[in-house]
Amino acid sequence: MSSAEHTEPLTKGAPGRTASPLRQLAAASVGNAVEWYDWYAYSFLAVYFADQVFPKDAGNSLVPLLSTFAVFAVGFFMRPVGGLLMGAVADRRGRRAALTLTILLMGGGSLLVALTPTYAATGVLAPVVLVVARLVQGLSVGGEFAASSTFLVESASPGRRGLFSSFLYVSTTFGQLLASGVAALLAALLSDAQMGSWGWRVAFLGGALLSLLGLWIRRGAQETHRAPQSAAERPGLFEALRHHPRASLLIGGITAGGTLAYYTWTTYLPTYAQVNAGFDKGDALTVGTLSLAFFMLLQPLGGILSDRIGRKPLLLGFSLGFAVLVVPLLGLVTDAFWSLLLVQCAGMVLLTGYTAVAAAVNAEVFPARVRAAGIGFPYSLTVALFGGTAPYVGTWFASSGHGGLFPWYVAALCLVSFVVYLTLPETARRPLDGTDAPAPEQAAPQA
C-alpha cells in the first residue's frame, strides 16, 4: 500500500492551533447525538401529528400508501444510499466535508418536518412533504455512521481507537434519550390538543437549531484524511466494492448479528414484553429509558477494554453470549418490572461487546482511500435488512402465533456473526492503514 493511502496527520481546522482530542470527540459525538435526536424524535412524536398528515378517513388512496412508505420504509431505504454517497464525499473531499453535509441535511430535514402543512390545509401535499423530509433524514443518517466512525477512529492516538470508537454509540444513545426526554417534557407541559396542534413542531424546530450547534462544533474540528487533489486521483463511487469485495462482505457479516441484537434490545424489547408477557406499556417505556442510560455508560468501558485485550474477545463474547443466552433471557421476561429491567440490562452488557468496537473494527478493515464509502454502503444495507426489520419480524412471529421463534432467529444470526468473528484477524494493534506492519509502541490507555 502506498503511503498516500495511510491516514494523514491532522492537517486542517481552526487556523493556528492543533485540535485537542476532546474537540475531535465533540465534533463527531455532538453532531451524531443531534442526528439521532432528530431521527428518533419522529418516532416518539408521530402519534401527535399522524392524524394531521395522514388522516384515516381520507378518500385519496395515495394517503395511506404514502403514510406506510414514509413511516416504515423510506428512512431505511435511503440509509444505504446515504452511506454510499456520504462515504464517497468523505473519501473524496475529506471527513469534515461529509460531517458538515450530513448534519446540514439532518437539520434541514427536521426543519421540513416542523413546517409540514396539515392535510386539511394542503391535501396530499402534506404527506409528500413529510416523505421528502424523511428521505433527506434517511440520506443523512445513512452517511453519518460512515463519516463519524471514520473520523472518530482516525482522530484517536495509538492505543485509543477502541475508546474513541465507543463514543459513536454513547452519542447515538444520548440522542435517543434526549428525543424521548423532550417528547415526554412537551407532553407533560402541554395538553393533547396543544401537542397535536403545534407542540410536536417545537421538538423538530429544536432539532434544527441543535444542528446549527453541531455544525459550529464540526467546523472547528481538524481533518483526519488528506483528500485527493485532482479528479483523476479520487476514488470511484463503487471502488471499495470492486477492489475490496471481501472486506465489503466482512462488514455485512460483522454487522448482521450486532444490528439485529441492537434493535431487538434497544427498540423492540419493550414491545416484545407487552405482546408476549402482558407487560404494562408505561413501565416498559421506563425500563427502556433506564436500560439505555446504563448502556450509554458501558460504552467507554468496552472501548477501553478492547484497546487492552483486543477487539476479537469482545466480539466473540457478544455473539456467543447472545447465541446461547438470548432464548433463556427472553424466556425470563414476565409482567414484573424487575424481570424486564434485569433482562434488558443483561443484554446491554453483552451487546456492548459489539457496539463499543463496531466503528473501530469497521475502520480497521479498509484502507484510508476508500474507508468511509467502504464502510457506509455495506453497513447501512445490512442495518436496513436485519436491524430495521427486527420489530416487524418479531411482531410477525407473534401475530402468526409463533412468538417464541423470534429469539431463535436472533440467536441464529448472532451465531453467523460469531463464525465471521472467528475469521477476523486481531486489528487493535495494527496500523490503521490496514497493513500487516507492526504498530508503534502503544501507551496503555487511561480510563
Of 50-54, 66-70, 433-437, least confident by mean pLDDT is 433-437
pLDDT at res. 56: 65
Contact status, residue 79 vs residue 142, Cβ threshold 8 Å: yes
**What is the overall mean pLDDT for the chain?**
83
Three-state DSSP class for 284?
helix
pLDDT digits over 431-440, tens only? Answer: 776 333 333 3
Angle, CA 284 vertex, CA 320 and CA 173 arms, to 5°: 60
CA 151 to chain centre: 15
Residue 205 is predicted with a pLDDT of 95
Distance of alpha carbon 347 from alpha carbon 257, whole angstroms: 13
- Name the nearest CA neighbour of 140 among 215, 250, 48: 215
CB 355 within 8 A of CB 362: no
> pLDDT tens for residues 231-290?
767 787 788 888 888 989 999 999 999 999 998 898 888 878 887 788 887 788 788 889
Mean pLDDT confidence for 14-24:
62
Confidence of residue 318 (pLDDT cuts 50, 70, 90): very high
Q: How confident is the model at residue 322 (pLDDT cuts 50, 70, 90)?
A: very high
* pLDDT digits 0-9 by tens, 328-354: 998 888 888 898 999 999 999 999 999
Output the pLDDT for position 59: 56
Q: What angle do CA 119, 202, 290 make, to 5 degrees?
A: 115
Q: Say yes or no to pLDDT of 63 above 50.
A: yes
Q: Measuring CA to CA, which residue among 310, 358, 319 is closest to residue 166?
A: 358
Q: Which segment of 14-28, 78-92, 200-214, 347-361 scores lowest on mean pLDDT? A: 14-28
CA distance 189 to 202: 12
> What is the sign, positive or negative, of the torsion defined by CA atoms of 15, 21, 22, 27?
positive
Per-position b or e across 263-288, b if 16+ CB within 10 A of its CB: bbbbbbbbbbbbbbbebeeebbeebb
The rounded percent of the chain whose pLDDT value lies above 70 is 88
Same fold, 22-226 and 243-432: yes
The yes-or-no verdict on residue 298 having pLDDT over 90 is yes
CATH 3.30.470.20 fits 22-226, yes or no: no
> Domain 243-432 classified CATH 1.20.1250.20?
yes
What is the mean pLDDT of the segment spanning 226-232? Answer: 73
Pick from 277, 292, 265: nearest CA to 391: 265
From 13, 348, 300, select the one nearest 164 (Cα to Cα): 300
Q: Which of 287, 238, 244 is nearest to 267 (CA)?
A: 287
Higher per-residue pLDDT: 315 or 23: 315
Residue spans of the domains in the chain: they are 22-226, 243-432
Burial of 325 (0-12, 13-18, 19+ CB in 10 A): middle
Question: CA 86, CA 165: separation in Å to the nearest integer?
Answer: 19
For range 406-418, the mean pLDDT: 94
Q: Give the separation between CA 40 and CA 37, rounded to whole angstroms.
A: 5
State how far the Cα of 147 lies from the Cα of 429, in Å rounded to an integer: 22
The pLDDT of residue 383 is above 50: yes
For cell 486542517, the residue is 12
Q: What's CA 26's distance to the chain center, in Å?
A: 17
CB-based contacts of 232: which residues, under 8 Å, 6+ apart?
none
Grid coordinates in use for 187? 407532553
Match 392524524 to its residue by C-alpha cell: 51
Which cell numbers hold the place of 125? Answer: 401535499
User: DSSP states of 343-405 as a string?
Assistant: HHHHHHHHHHHHHTTHHHHHHTTS-GGGHHHHHHHHHHHHIIIIITTHHHHHHHHHHTT-TTH
Q: What pLDDT band is residue 19 in, cutting at 50, 70 and 90?
A: low
